Protein backbone atom coordinates (compact mmCIF):
# COMPACT_ATOMS: atom_id res chain seq x y z
CA UNK A 1 0.00 0.00 0.00
CA UNK A 2 0.92 3.65 -0.29
CA UNK A 3 0.79 5.40 3.07
CA UNK A 4 0.31 9.17 3.17
CA UNK A 5 -0.10 11.95 5.72
CA UNK A 6 -2.37 14.82 4.73
CA UNK A 7 -2.97 18.24 6.22
CA UNK A 8 -1.21 21.31 7.54
CA UNK A 9 2.28 20.97 9.10
CA UNK A 10 1.95 19.52 12.57
CA UNK A 11 -1.65 18.44 11.98
CA UNK A 12 -1.27 15.74 9.35
CA UNK A 13 -3.70 12.81 9.34
CA UNK A 14 -2.92 9.23 8.24
CA UNK A 15 -4.32 7.91 4.97
CA UNK A 16 -3.80 5.25 2.31
CA UNK A 17 -3.65 6.39 -1.31
CA UNK A 18 -6.17 4.83 -3.68
CA UNK A 19 -5.28 6.72 -6.86
CA UNK A 20 -4.38 10.24 -7.98
CA UNK A 21 -7.79 11.52 -6.90
CA UNK A 22 -8.70 9.71 -3.71
CA UNK A 23 -7.60 8.08 -0.46
CA UNK A 24 -8.82 6.04 2.50
CA UNK A 25 -8.99 8.05 5.74
CA UNK A 26 -7.56 6.26 8.80
CA UNK A 27 -7.96 8.96 11.45
CA UNK A 28 -10.45 6.89 13.43
CA UNK A 29 -8.14 3.86 13.42
CA UNK A 30 -4.72 5.32 14.32
CA UNK A 31 -3.34 8.69 15.35
CA UNK A 32 -0.37 8.62 12.98
CA UNK A 33 2.12 6.37 11.20
CA UNK A 34 4.22 6.17 14.32
CA UNK A 35 5.52 3.37 16.56
CA UNK A 36 1.99 2.43 17.63
CA UNK A 37 1.01 1.98 13.98
CA UNK A 38 3.99 -0.25 13.25
CA UNK A 39 3.02 -2.44 16.21
CA UNK A 40 -0.46 -2.88 14.65
CA UNK A 41 0.54 -2.59 11.01
CA UNK A 42 -1.18 -5.72 9.63
CA UNK A 43 -4.42 -4.94 11.45
CA UNK A 44 -4.52 -1.32 10.27
CA UNK A 45 -3.68 -2.15 6.66
CA UNK A 46 -6.40 -4.81 6.66
CA UNK A 47 -8.92 -2.13 7.67
CA UNK A 48 -7.62 0.12 4.87
CA UNK A 49 -8.04 -2.70 2.34
CA UNK A 50 -11.60 -3.36 3.50
CA UNK A 51 -12.53 0.31 3.20
CA UNK A 52 -10.95 0.58 -0.22
CA UNK A 53 -12.88 -2.47 -1.44
CA UNK A 54 -16.10 -1.03 -0.03
CA UNK A 55 -15.54 2.29 -1.81
CA UNK A 56 -15.12 4.24 1.43
CA UNK A 57 -12.82 6.81 -0.12
CA UNK A 58 -12.30 10.58 0.04
CA UNK A 59 -11.29 13.01 -2.71
CA UNK A 60 -7.94 14.77 -2.21
CA UNK A 61 -9.05 18.24 -3.21
CA UNK A 62 -6.31 20.78 -2.50
CA UNK A 63 -5.08 19.22 0.75
CA UNK A 64 -1.37 19.49 1.55
CA UNK A 65 0.69 16.30 1.35
CA UNK A 66 3.07 15.93 4.28
CA UNK A 67 5.99 13.57 4.79
CA UNK A 68 4.56 10.02 4.99
CA UNK A 69 6.03 9.48 8.47
CA UNK A 70 6.08 11.86 11.45
CA UNK A 71 9.39 13.09 12.82
CA UNK A 72 11.53 9.95 13.22
CA UNK A 73 13.66 9.00 16.18
CA UNK A 74 16.65 9.38 13.85
CA UNK A 75 17.60 9.91 10.23
CA UNK A 76 20.71 7.96 9.23
CA UNK A 77 22.40 8.51 5.88
CA UNK A 78 24.84 6.48 3.81
CA UNK A 79 27.51 8.46 1.97
CA UNK A 80 29.16 7.61 -1.36
CA UNK A 81 26.97 4.54 -1.87
CA UNK A 82 26.96 4.71 -5.68
CA UNK A 83 30.16 3.89 -7.55
CA UNK A 84 29.55 6.53 -10.21
CA UNK A 85 28.80 9.20 -7.59
CA UNK A 86 32.01 8.37 -5.69
CA UNK A 87 33.87 8.78 -8.99
CA UNK A 88 32.36 12.20 -9.73
CA UNK A 89 33.42 13.46 -6.29
CA UNK A 90 36.95 12.10 -6.76
CA UNK A 91 36.71 9.83 -3.73
CA UNK A 92 37.49 6.14 -3.35
CA UNK A 93 34.74 3.53 -3.26
CA UNK A 94 34.27 2.76 0.47
CA UNK A 95 35.00 -0.68 1.91
CA UNK A 96 32.22 -0.28 4.47
CA UNK A 97 29.14 1.96 4.49
CA UNK A 98 29.92 5.57 5.42
CA UNK A 99 27.34 6.64 7.98
CA UNK A 100 26.28 10.05 9.19
CA UNK A 101 23.19 11.45 10.86
CA UNK A 102 20.80 14.12 9.73
CA UNK A 103 18.66 16.15 12.10
CA UNK A 104 15.18 14.58 12.38
CA UNK A 105 13.55 18.01 12.26
CA UNK A 106 14.85 18.51 8.72
CA UNK A 107 11.96 16.31 7.51
CA UNK A 108 9.31 18.08 5.38
CA UNK A 109 6.66 17.18 2.83
CA UNK A 110 7.44 16.38 -0.81
CA UNK A 111 6.08 19.67 -2.18
CA UNK A 112 7.16 22.04 0.61
CA UNK A 113 9.66 24.84 -0.01
CA UNK A 114 13.34 24.21 0.69
CA UNK A 115 15.06 27.04 2.60
CA UNK A 116 18.51 28.21 1.58
CA UNK A 117 20.21 28.64 4.97
CA UNK A 118 21.64 31.94 6.08
CA UNK A 119 25.24 32.12 4.91
CA UNK A 120 24.75 29.39 2.31
CA UNK A 121 26.86 29.54 -0.86
CA UNK A 122 26.84 25.94 -2.11
CA UNK A 123 23.33 24.50 -1.88
CA UNK A 124 22.98 21.11 -3.60
CA UNK A 125 20.47 18.34 -4.36
CA UNK A 126 20.49 14.54 -3.99
CA UNK A 127 17.68 12.19 -5.05
CA UNK A 128 17.74 9.07 -2.88
CA UNK A 129 15.89 5.91 -1.95
CA UNK A 130 14.72 6.08 1.65
CA UNK A 131 14.05 3.08 3.90
CA UNK A 132 11.60 3.23 6.79
CA UNK A 133 12.15 0.77 9.63
CA UNK A 134 9.15 -1.22 10.84
CA UNK A 135 10.52 -3.14 13.81
CA UNK A 136 13.13 -2.48 16.49
CA UNK A 137 16.52 -3.67 15.21
CA UNK A 138 19.67 -4.51 17.14
CA UNK A 139 22.44 -6.91 16.18
CA UNK A 140 20.56 -8.41 13.25
CA UNK A 141 22.08 -11.73 12.26
CA UNK A 142 21.41 -11.75 8.52
CA UNK A 143 20.34 -9.78 5.47
CA UNK A 144 17.08 -11.74 5.59
CA UNK A 145 16.33 -10.39 9.07
CA UNK A 146 17.21 -6.92 7.82
CA UNK A 147 14.84 -7.23 4.86
CA UNK A 148 12.01 -8.30 7.18
CA UNK A 149 12.57 -5.22 9.36
CA UNK A 150 11.93 -2.71 6.55
CA UNK A 151 8.36 -1.36 6.48
CA UNK A 152 8.62 0.39 3.14
CA UNK A 153 10.40 2.67 0.70
CA UNK A 154 10.12 6.39 0.04
CA UNK A 155 11.59 9.09 -2.22
CA UNK A 156 13.86 11.50 -0.37
CA UNK A 157 15.85 14.57 -1.37
CA UNK A 158 19.00 14.72 0.76
CA UNK A 159 19.46 18.48 0.37
CA UNK A 160 23.03 19.48 1.21
CA UNK A 161 25.04 22.64 1.83
CA UNK A 162 28.51 21.70 0.59
CA UNK A 163 30.42 24.60 2.16
CA UNK A 164 28.95 23.74 5.56
CA UNK A 165 29.65 20.05 4.89
CA UNK A 166 33.25 20.23 3.65
CA UNK A 167 34.67 23.59 4.68
CA UNK A 168 33.46 24.01 8.27
CA UNK A 169 35.41 21.40 10.19
CA UNK A 170 34.75 18.32 8.13
CA UNK A 171 31.49 17.29 9.77
CA UNK A 172 28.90 16.21 7.21
CA UNK A 173 26.04 16.72 9.66
CA UNK A 174 26.52 20.49 9.45
CA UNK A 175 25.80 20.47 5.74
CA UNK A 176 22.89 18.06 5.93
CA UNK A 177 20.72 19.13 8.86
CA UNK A 178 19.30 22.58 8.15
CA UNK A 179 15.53 23.00 8.37
CA UNK A 180 13.71 21.65 5.26
CA UNK A 181 16.75 19.61 4.14
CA UNK A 182 14.90 16.27 3.97
CA UNK A 183 11.80 16.33 1.77
CA UNK A 184 10.17 12.88 1.85
CA UNK A 185 7.23 11.29 0.06
CA UNK A 186 4.69 11.67 -1.40
CA UNK A 187 3.97 8.25 0.05
CA UNK A 188 5.58 5.34 1.85
CA UNK A 189 5.27 2.25 -0.35
CA UNK A 190 5.07 -0.98 1.64
CA UNK A 191 7.65 -3.63 0.75
CA UNK A 192 5.10 -6.04 -0.74
CA UNK A 193 4.60 -3.55 -3.58
CA UNK A 194 8.34 -3.35 -4.35
CA UNK A 195 9.37 -6.95 -5.13
CA UNK A 196 12.81 -5.91 -6.46
CA UNK A 197 14.42 -2.83 -4.95
CA UNK A 198 17.72 -3.45 -6.76
CA UNK A 199 16.87 -1.86 -10.11
CA UNK A 200 14.72 1.23 -9.54
CA UNK A 201 15.31 4.18 -11.87
CA UNK A 202 15.98 7.54 -10.18
CA UNK A 203 15.96 11.06 -11.59
CA UNK A 204 16.17 14.71 -10.60
CA UNK A 205 15.59 17.87 -12.65
CA UNK A 206 16.45 21.47 -11.77
CA UNK A 207 14.39 24.11 -13.58
CA UNK A 208 13.34 21.49 -16.13
CA UNK A 209 16.88 20.29 -16.92
CA UNK A 210 17.77 16.69 -16.09
CA UNK A 211 20.66 16.71 -13.61
CA UNK A 212 20.54 13.20 -12.11
CA UNK A 213 19.63 9.93 -13.83
CA UNK A 214 20.60 6.67 -12.20
CA UNK A 215 19.42 3.40 -10.74
CA UNK A 216 19.60 1.58 -7.44
CA UNK A 217 21.40 -1.20 -9.34
CA UNK A 218 24.64 0.79 -9.03
CA UNK A 219 24.46 0.88 -5.22
CA UNK A 220 27.61 -0.38 -3.53
CA UNK A 221 25.70 -1.58 -0.47
CA UNK A 222 22.11 -2.69 -1.02
CA UNK A 223 19.29 -1.80 1.42
CA UNK A 224 19.37 -5.12 3.28
CA UNK A 225 23.14 -4.95 3.76
CA UNK A 226 22.79 -1.37 5.01
CA UNK A 227 20.17 -2.19 7.65
CA UNK A 228 22.10 -5.26 8.83
CA UNK A 229 25.30 -3.19 9.04
CA UNK A 230 23.76 -0.28 10.95
CA UNK A 231 22.17 -2.63 13.48
CA UNK A 232 25.63 -3.74 14.59
CA UNK A 233 26.41 -0.22 15.84
CA UNK A 234 23.14 1.23 17.12
CA UNK A 235 19.50 0.44 17.69
CA UNK A 236 17.00 1.25 14.95
CA UNK A 237 13.47 2.08 16.08
CA UNK A 238 10.17 1.74 14.20
CA UNK A 239 9.68 4.78 11.99
CA UNK A 240 13.40 5.56 11.65
CA UNK A 241 14.47 6.76 8.21
CA UNK A 242 17.60 5.67 6.34
CA UNK A 243 18.72 7.64 3.27
CA UNK A 244 20.73 5.22 1.15
CA UNK A 245 22.86 7.49 -1.05
CA UNK A 246 22.60 9.26 -4.40
CA UNK A 247 23.57 8.51 -8.02
CA UNK A 248 25.80 10.91 -10.01
CA UNK A 249 24.74 14.34 -11.19
CA UNK A 250 24.82 16.37 -8.00
CA UNK A 251 25.63 20.06 -8.34
CA UNK A 252 29.15 19.82 -6.95
CA UNK A 253 30.01 17.19 -9.57
CA UNK A 254 29.60 19.58 -12.51
CA UNK A 255 32.49 21.60 -13.89
CA UNK A 256 32.01 24.32 -12.89
CA UNK A 257 29.73 23.34 -9.99
CA UNK A 258 26.05 24.29 -10.11
CA UNK A 259 24.51 25.57 -6.89
CA UNK A 260 20.83 26.06 -6.14
CA UNK A 261 19.53 29.63 -5.94
CA UNK A 262 16.27 31.08 -4.60
CA UNK A 263 13.55 30.56 -7.18
CA UNK A 264 15.02 27.30 -8.51
CA UNK A 265 12.68 24.32 -8.71
CA UNK A 266 13.71 20.71 -8.07
CA UNK A 267 11.60 17.84 -9.40
CA UNK A 268 12.64 14.27 -8.58
CA UNK A 269 11.41 10.73 -8.30
CA UNK A 270 12.15 7.03 -7.92
CA UNK A 271 10.48 4.40 -10.08
CA UNK A 272 7.32 3.09 -8.43
CA UNK A 273 7.59 5.44 -5.45
CA UNK A 274 6.21 8.69 -6.85
CA UNK A 275 7.74 12.12 -7.41
CA UNK A 276 8.40 15.38 -5.58
CA UNK A 277 8.65 19.07 -6.38
CA UNK A 278 10.31 21.77 -4.24
CA UNK A 279 11.01 25.45 -4.74
CA UNK A 280 14.10 27.03 -3.17
CA UNK A 281 13.48 30.13 -1.03
CA UNK A 282 15.63 32.15 1.32
CA UNK A 283 15.44 31.06 4.95
CA UNK A 284 13.27 33.54 6.86
Whole-angstrom Cα distance, residue 265 to residue 187? 20
Whole-angstrom Cα distance, residue 136 to residue 149? 8
pTM, 2 dp: 0.96
Contacts of 53 (CB under 8 A, 6+ apart): none
Complete domains list, the chain, with CATH: 2-59 (no CATH), 75-282 (3.90.850.10)
Alpha helices in the chain (DSSP H): 35-39, 41-53, 83-88, 143-149, 162-166, 172-176, 223-230
E strands, 139-252, in order: 150-157, 160-161, 182-183, 188-190, 201-206, 209-215, 241-243
Per-residue pLDDT of the chain (284 residues; tens, 9 = 90+): 999 999 999 999 999 999 999 999 999 999 999 999 999 999 999 999 999 999 999 999 999 999 999 999 999 999 989 977 777 777 778 899 999 999 999 999 999 999 999 999 999 999 999 999 999 999 999 999 999 999 999 999 999 999 999 898 877 889 999 999 999 999 999 999 999 999 999 999 999 999 999 999 999 999 999 999 999 999 999 999 999 999 999 999 999 999 999 999 999 999 999 999 999 999 99
Whole-angstrom Cα distance, residue 248 to residue 231? 27
Amino acid sequence: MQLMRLGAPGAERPAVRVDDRSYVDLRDVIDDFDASFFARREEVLAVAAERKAAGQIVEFGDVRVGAPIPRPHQIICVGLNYRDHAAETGQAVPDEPILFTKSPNSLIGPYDDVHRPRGSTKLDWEVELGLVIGTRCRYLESREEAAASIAGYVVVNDVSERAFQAERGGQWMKGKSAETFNPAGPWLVTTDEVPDVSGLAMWLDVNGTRRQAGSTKTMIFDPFTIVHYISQFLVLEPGDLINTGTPPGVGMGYKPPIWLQPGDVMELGVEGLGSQRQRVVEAP
